[in-house]
């Protein structure tokens, strides 16, 4: 489900993957050093509470009107979009 439509040509995508057990994964598009678009976990932990993710999504959507926010459901937490997935360290994106 698309929660927020962003800029069609340049908006990046934030995807919330609900595991249907009150936990979820929150991934955002990011380019690597070669410029290849992939996915990075927003939080240090791979899974967070739905509440924690929703609070982050609310703040991110307010700061960036070009951001696309998409939510999907998958008990295994699989990313519905193709591309490599990378975890980040303890730093925050915003």
CATH code of the domain covering residue 30: 3.40.1530.20
CB 18 within 8 A of CB 3: no
pTM of the model: 0.80
Provide the number of structural domains found in the chain.
1
Tell me whether residue 28 is in a domain: yes
Tell me whether residue 89 is in a domain: no
Tell me whether residue 82 is in a domain: no
Residue with tokens 């069609």: 8
Tell me whether residue 94 is in a domain: no
Separation between Cα atoms, residue 34 and residue 13, nearest integer Å? 19
pLDDT digits (tens, 9 = 90+) for 31-84: 888 888 889 999 999 899 999 999 999 999 999 999 999 999 999 999 988 655
Beta strands in 1-94 (DSSP E): 2-4, 13-18, 23-31, 37-41, 48-49, 68-73, 85-86
Task: Domain of residue 11: give its range.
Answer: 2-75
């Amino acid at each position: 489900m698309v929660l927020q439509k962003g800029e069609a040509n340049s908006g990046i995508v934030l995807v919330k993957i609900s595991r249907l057990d009150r936990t979820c994964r929150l991934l955002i598009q990011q380019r690597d050093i070669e410029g290849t678009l992939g996915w990075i976990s927003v939080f240090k932990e791979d899974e967070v509470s739905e509440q924690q993710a929703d609070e982050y999504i609310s703040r991110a959507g307010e700061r960036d009107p070009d951001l696309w926010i998409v939510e999907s459901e998958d008990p295994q937490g699989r990313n519905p979009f193709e591309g490599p997935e990378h975890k980040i360290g303890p730093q925050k994106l915003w």
